[in-house]
Amino acid sequence: MTFKESAAAPVTEGVVIESGRMGRVAYARIAPNEDLVQGVEKMCLAEGFRHAFVRGGLGSLIDARVGTLDGGFQQISGPAVEIVSIAGEVRSGDDGVPMASLAGIVADPDGNVYGGPFLAGWNPICMTFEVTLEEWLPDEGEQ
């Protein structure tokens, strides 16, 4: 597919448009050896956030695994894979179970840089990870 073809392709698949407002802000520390994605999901459960945005984070991973465009993954070996940047959101389904979708940029101990979506269960925290979440409150009828 050329750039021109991809630019003309609709981008509405998987897109959700909703109105609402921002709610509470929570800051927490995820403990060593806990998975990054699962830790953010647990944080939402503990705070009662059905939906939230990741506003920032700081810390390192023992090792990292990020997804690739072809559906595979890239394994980044540590110790101490630094998270340079992180963004994402958490959405809860009708069952109330939060599902985090997080992506970021990481640097390995040699300074090589990688990026992509963090794969749940494969990104254990090294020493500590601090994260800030902001609750999203969709308007009634849009949840």
DSSP the chain: --HHHHHHS---TT-----EEEEEEEEEEEPTTSBHHHHHHHHHHHHT-SEEEEEEEEEEESSEEEE-TTS-EEEE--SSEEEEEEEEEEEE-TT--EEEEEEEEEE-TTS-EEEEEBPTTS-BEEEEEEEEEEEEEEPTT--
State the pLDDT at residue 143.
59
The average pLDDT across 128-141 equals 95
Average pLDDT, rounded, for the chain: 92
Q: What ranges do the domains of the chain cover? A: 20-137
78-106 pLDDT, tens digit per residue, is 999 999 999 999 999 999 999 999 999 99
Comparing 94 with 5, the larger pLDDT belongs to 94
The average pLDDT across 13-37 equals 94
Comparing 130 with 12, the larger pLDDT belongs to 130
pLDDT band at 15 (very low <50, low <70, confident <90, very high): confident
Domain 20-137 has what CATH class?
alpha beta
Task: Specify whether the CB–CB gap between 30 and 125 falls below 8 A.
Answer: yes
Q: How many Å apart are CA 100 and CA 52, to the nearest integer? A: 9
Q: How many Å apart are CA 52 and CA 29, to the nearest integer? A: 16
**Chain position carrying tokens 């509470």:** 24
Q: How many Å apart are CA 126 and CA 5, to the nearest integer? A: 43
As a whole-number percent, the residues of the chain with pLDDT over 70 amount to: 90
Q: Give the tokens for residue 19.
A: 């109105």
Strands 113-117 and 81-92 turn out to be unpaired
